[in-house]
Chains A and B, each alone.
Chain A
Amino acid sequence: MFVFQLDSTSGVPPYLQLVHQVRQAITVGYLREGDRLPLIREAVEQLAINPNTVSKAYRQLEHEGLVDPRPGVGTFVARAPDVTVSPAQYAKLRRGLERWLREAEAAGLDDHAIGALLAIVRRDVAEEGAA
Chain B
Amino acid sequence: MSAAIVTRELGKRYRSRWALRDCDLELPAGAVIALVGPNGAGKTTLLQLLVGLQQPSAGSVSLFGRPEPGGSAQALAQVGYVAQDHPIYRRFRVSELLHLGRSLNPGWDQDLAERRIEELGIPLRQRTGRLSGGQQAQVALALALAKRPKLLILDEPVASLDPLARREFLQVLMATVVDEGLTVLLSSHNVAELERVCDHLVVVADGRVQLAGDVEALLGEHRVLTGPSGGLPDGPGMIHVDRADRHAHIVARIGDAEPMPGWAARPIGLEELVLAYLRQARDPRPVPSELELSK
Contacts and interface: CB of A to CB of B under 8 A. Distances in A.
Contact of A49 (B192, B196, B269): B196
Interface residues of B, number: 17
B220 to A, nearest CB: 11
A108 to B, nearest CB: 16
Contact of B199 (A6, A46, A52): A52
6 contacts: A44-B174, A44-B175, A48-B171, A48-B197, A50-B196, A51-B174
Contacts, number: 44
Q: Name the interface size band of chain A.
A: 10 to 19
Contacts of A46: 171
Residues of A contacting B: mostly: helix
Given A6-B196, A8-B196, A14-B196, A50 B174 contact: yes
A40 B175 CA distance: 9
Contacts of B179: 41
Interface of B: 32, 167, 170-171, 173-175, 177-179, 192, 195-199, 269
A120 B195 CA distance: 40
Contacts of A53: 196, 199
A11 interface: yes
Given A11-B269, A50-B32, A45 B175 contact: yes
B170 A48 contact: yes
A60 to B, nearest CB: 13
